[in-house]
């Protein structure tokens, strides 16, 4: 049994959301191989991501990671359409588990961050199709 971080204790709704979301991501045919290859310590990931979303949603919670560097470092495993799949699962899970106003904020944040990450990982390969 893993001990919960204080952020997880203070934000039980987000802790449960994060666990449910990654449960779905790990069961998704497109996303599962990336998580299986990259994440060995799931309790650590849950703690970090609960802190990340607490900071995003409530301006509280501890997060000291580097999402852009982390996703760039696994660029070889990622494809642009994975971000659409990630967002679809996130929107589904937040709609089901959070009050509507929180779900709306979480979804808007995720969409914006996904765009930043996608651009950081793929650069013009995504938006340069019109050229």
The residues binding ligand HEM (CB under 6 A) are 31, 34-35, 38-39, 48-49, 52, 65-67, 70-71, 78, 82-83, 86, 110, 113-114, 117
Per the structure block, which two tokens stand in for 70? 């982390």
Task: For the CB of residue 63, give the shortest distance to ligand HEM in the complex, in Å.
Answer: 7
Q: d(Cα 13, Cα 98) in Å, to the nearest integer?
A: 8
Task: For the CB of residue 24, give the shortest distance to ligand HEM in the complex, in Å.
Answer: 12
Task: For the CB of residue 12, give the shortest distance to ligand HEM in the complex, in Å.
Answer: 19
- Compute CA distances 13 → 27, 40, 91, 120, whole Å: 21, 24, 15, 30
**Given the complex with ligand HEM, which of 98 and 117 has the nearer CB atom?**
117
- Which residues, 6+ apart, have CB-to-CB distance to 44 below 8 Å? none
Output the residue with the shortest Cβ distance to ligand HEM. 65
**Given the complex with ligand HEM, which of 13 and 115 has the nearer CB atom?**
115
**Given the complex with ligand HEM, which of 35 and 91 has the nearer CB atom?**
35
Contact in structure between 48 and 19 (CB atoms under 8 Å): no
Contact in structure between 44 and 50 (CB atoms under 8 Å): no
Task: For the CB of residue 128, give the shortest distance to ligand HEM in the complex, in Å.
Answer: 19
Per the structure block, which two tokens stand in for 73? 């470092």
**Given the complex with ligand HEM, which of 15 and 31 has the nearer CB atom?**
31
């Amino acid at each position: 049994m893993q001990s919960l971080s204080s952020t997880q204790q203070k934000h039980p709704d987000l802790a449960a959301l994060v666990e449910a979301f990654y449960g779905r991501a790990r069961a998704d045919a497109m996303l599962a191989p990336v998580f299986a290859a990259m994440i060995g310590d799931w309790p650590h990931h849950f703690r970090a991501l609960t802190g990340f979303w607490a900071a995003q949603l409530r301006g509280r919670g501890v997060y000291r990671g580097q999402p852009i560097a982390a996703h760039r470092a696994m660029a070889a495993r990622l494809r642009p359409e994975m971000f659409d799949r990630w967002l679809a699962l996130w929107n589904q899970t937040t709609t089901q588990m959070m009050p509507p106003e929180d779900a709306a904020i979480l979804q808007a944040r995720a969409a914006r961050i996904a765009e930043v990450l996608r651009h950081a990982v793929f650069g013009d390969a995504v938006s340069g199709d019109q050229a």
